[in-house]
Amino acid sequence: MFRKLDDTISVAAQIDPADLAEAKRQGFVAIVNNRPDGEQPGQPTDAEMAAAAGAQGLAYVAIPITHAGFTDAQVTAMGEALAAAGGPVLAYCRSGTRSTYVWALARAAAGDDAAALTAKAAAAGYDISGLWR
């Protein structure tokens, strides 16, 4: 269910409030929601997820990303969320792909090697090679 990119972050497809107890059990300290409200009928709202994360003692940040692409502000916010977490982060969106992309862009902005980021993503089942072209 949760796909580990590295020791600092895992990504997931849409989770629901009940999944946050498992995230806590697995040692995550923060949740990043990369999915905008209302993207698909029936998905939990940002407010529901924030409340559920708080009930589990997990930090929570919403950085909604649409299919239109990524902004510098979103990449910066992701980098800040990762830095502030103080432990493993679970980021989610519809499939985990947007979360993987924004993580890679944030880490590349911090100076991480693009090839290493691509390899980490590929090991988790995500092809982000198009980011660097």
Structure tokens at 1: 């269910």
pTM greater than 0.85: yes
Average pLDDT estimate for 21-32? 98
> How many other CB atoms are there within 10 angstroms of residue 123's CB atom?
12
Q: How far apart are CA 54 and CA 67, in angstroms?
A: 28
Residue 120 has pLDDT above 80, yes or no: yes
pLDDT the model gives residue 133: 76
Q: pLDDT, tens digit, for every residue of 65-89? A: 998 889 999 999 999 999 999 999 9
Domain with residues 3-124, CATH architecture: Alpha-Beta Complex (3.90)
Side-chain half-sphere CA neighbours of 79 within 13 A: 15
Distances (CA, A) of 49 to 7, 21, 23, 88, 120: 23, 12, 13, 18, 27
Q: How far apart are CA 32 and CA 30, in angstroms?
A: 7
Give residue limits of the domains in the chain.
3-124
